[in-house]
Amino acid sequence: MSHPKLTTLPQWRALQQHFAMIGPKHLRELFAASPQRGERLTVEDVGLYLDYSKQRVDADTLQLLRELAAACALPQRIEAMFHGDRINTTENRAVLHVALRAPATEKILVDGHDVVPDVHAVLDRMAAFAEQVRSGAWLGHGGKRIRNVVSIGIGGSDLGPVMAYEALRDYSRRDMTFRFVSNVDGTDFAEATRDLDAAETLFIVCSKTFTTLETLSNAHAARRWCLAALGDESAVAKHFVAVSTNADEVAKFGIDTANMFGFWDWVGGRYSMDSAIGLSTMLAIGPAQFREMLAGFHAMDEHFRHTPLERNLPALMGLLAIWNTNFLDAATVAVLPYEQYLKRFPAYLQQLTMESNGKHVTLDGAAVDYATGPIYWGEPGTNGQHSFYQLIHQGTRLVPCDFIGFGQTLNPLPAQGGGDQHDLLMANLIAQGEALAFGKTADEVRADGTPEALVPHRTFEGNRPSSTILAAKLTPHVLGTLIALYEHSVFVQGVIWDIDSFDQWGVELGKQLAKTTIAELTAPDEPKLAHDSSTNHLIRRYRQLRDG
């Protein structure tokens, strides 16, 4: 499955040669050379509009990137994923999050078994359960209806549900409280539950493996908290449900597997928010809106699978990321949603992108000699403008930006002086992209009457690349398409870099070492330590500080 070494491909070399030519060109020149660029370098499909004209590319760059994609067998690799091939080679697993949103009429085989009916059976069970809870038919141990839902999980079993709950809050049941506990820091659990009545609280324990230290610790804390209030082990059945692939561990914890919603090893944790891991989302927005979200994911899946690379949104985003990372040498991507409801979207994308593409060896295990996954980060606009945008505009590092905005707000608020505050928000989004691309020359600054000593400080070099993604309105459907856009863009990048975007061995070492360290921190007597001198001393100092 591995392709020949990326940097030896003639298509890579062609891009290097092309970069020598286009690299020094300013976006001002590129726009001057092609005045229609702002209309031409755009794609609109499945409800999303992508303007990539402010990326530092021209028609030749795009052609060469597509040729690189062909040389890396991108179309074949896309088919292999949709086909259920075991493309997660280091874990010998299929990668089929696309099956989670496939209509019931589709057939997707894993080892000869059609998984689509399984997916829909779980969805139907989730929907029936969600209806029971939302309608008040599902009662707590003491006979009260459930008003609070606390989802316990971490990483892929938390970031998606949190992000989706925040994103779709406008569609959620406002008479129910939704909380999320992830950190093993007891503060997370304590603050999430301090004002809740256990008799009205349902815990959803989300863990693919059901062995994750943080989640199990918090789940045990939740059970103690619940039983302390309700006093009876039989309360667990009414106040705990599990989402997992591991029925044995769920049963061991004491949750009846009748109250378990399953998923499968072909769903990666960071690709699981549209599986049963999204049960809290469904409880919040209801089964119909949840299915709308799945339809949005599926629309993007279809687009990705069937649209030629020229107009393929995830392929374009992925190839532009390759260009920015490997040719413009950008180490990061700022994701800047001009939509308050998407405030957790950058955090969600951090796991999706960095756990997927933070890899240093190819599928064959050879060390790469090129950069892979960039660092994703971001904050909603306009807040970020008053914080880190200074560095993006005038710093020494190149930070490509993804701006995300919507035509309509879910919360119209008249602006002073006319219009809606939403116009102010979007004016800022549009202005930022313009300022980053075109900047302000020293002569323009002088023409404003700026004293000469301040001219260098007030000059904006510009030529900072960005993409802008617009949609009509943030709906469950649009959220689904947006997430799938990034999922598949990550996939495209992984294919070009020839890495396994679906494993995460890098998280293991820290977990392992923590086990030894926990034993050393909790040993009754000062333990014999055999780490390096820094680690040894940190353990001693912690014990002293803790014990006073």
> Any idea which residues carry the catalytic annotation?
355, 386, 511
- SS3 labels along 247-314: HHHHHHHCCCHHHEEECCCCCCHHHCCCCHHHHHHHHHHCHHHHHHHHHHHHHHHHHHHHCCHHHCHH
Nearer to ligand F6P, 42 or 350 (CB): 350
Closest approach, Cβ 500 to ligand F6P, in A, equals 13
Q: Which of 438, 465, 427, 469 is nearest to 336 (CA)?
A: 469
Nearer to ligand F6P, 171 or 263 (CB): 263
Nearer to ligand F6P, 157 or 468 (CB): 157
In the sheet that 375-377 helps form, which strands lie side by side, from edge to edge?
42-45, 48-51, 466-471, 401-406, 332-337, 375-377
Please give the size of the binding site for ligand F6P, defined by CB under 6 A: 14
Tokens representing 229 are 């209030």
Whole-angstrom Cα distance, residue 335 to residue 404?
A: 8
Q: Does 215 bind ligand F6P (CB under 6 A)?
A: yes
Burial class of residue 233 in the structure, from the number of CB atoms within 10 Å of its CB (0-12 exposed, 13-18 middle, 19+ buried): exposed
Whole-angstrom Cα distance, residue 195 to residue 330?
A: 45
Nearer to ligand F6P, 160 or 286 (CB): 160
Q: Does 157 bind ligand F6P (CB under 6 A)?
A: yes
Q: Which of 53, 212, 356, 468 binds ligand F6P (CB under 6 A)?
A: 212
DSSP secondary structure of 167-209 = HTGGGS-TTSEEEEE--SSHHHHHHHHTT--GGGEEEEEE-SS
Q: Does 155 bind ligand F6P (CB under 6 A)?
A: yes
Interface characters, 344-383, with ligand F6P (x: CB under 6 A): -----------x----------------------------
Residues between 499 and 528 that touch ligand F6P (CB under 6 A): 504, 507
Whole-angstrom Cα distance, residue 34 to residue 318?
A: 24
Q: Does 209 bind ligand F6P (CB under 6 A)?
A: yes
Strand-pair category, 401-406 with 332-337: parallel
Q: Does 207 bind ligand F6P (CB under 6 A)?
A: yes
- For 174, other C-beta atoms within 10 Å of its C-beta total 8
Residues between 239 and 278 that touch ligand F6P (CB under 6 A): 269-270
Closest approach, Cβ 469 to ligand F6P, in A, equals 25
Q: Does 97 bind ligand F6P (CB under 6 A)?
A: no
Q: Does 156 bind ligand F6P (CB under 6 A)?
A: yes
Nearer to ligand F6P, 66 or 179 (CB): 179
Binding residues (CB under 6 A) for ligand F6P: these are: 154-157, 207-209, 212, 215, 269-270, 355, 504, 507
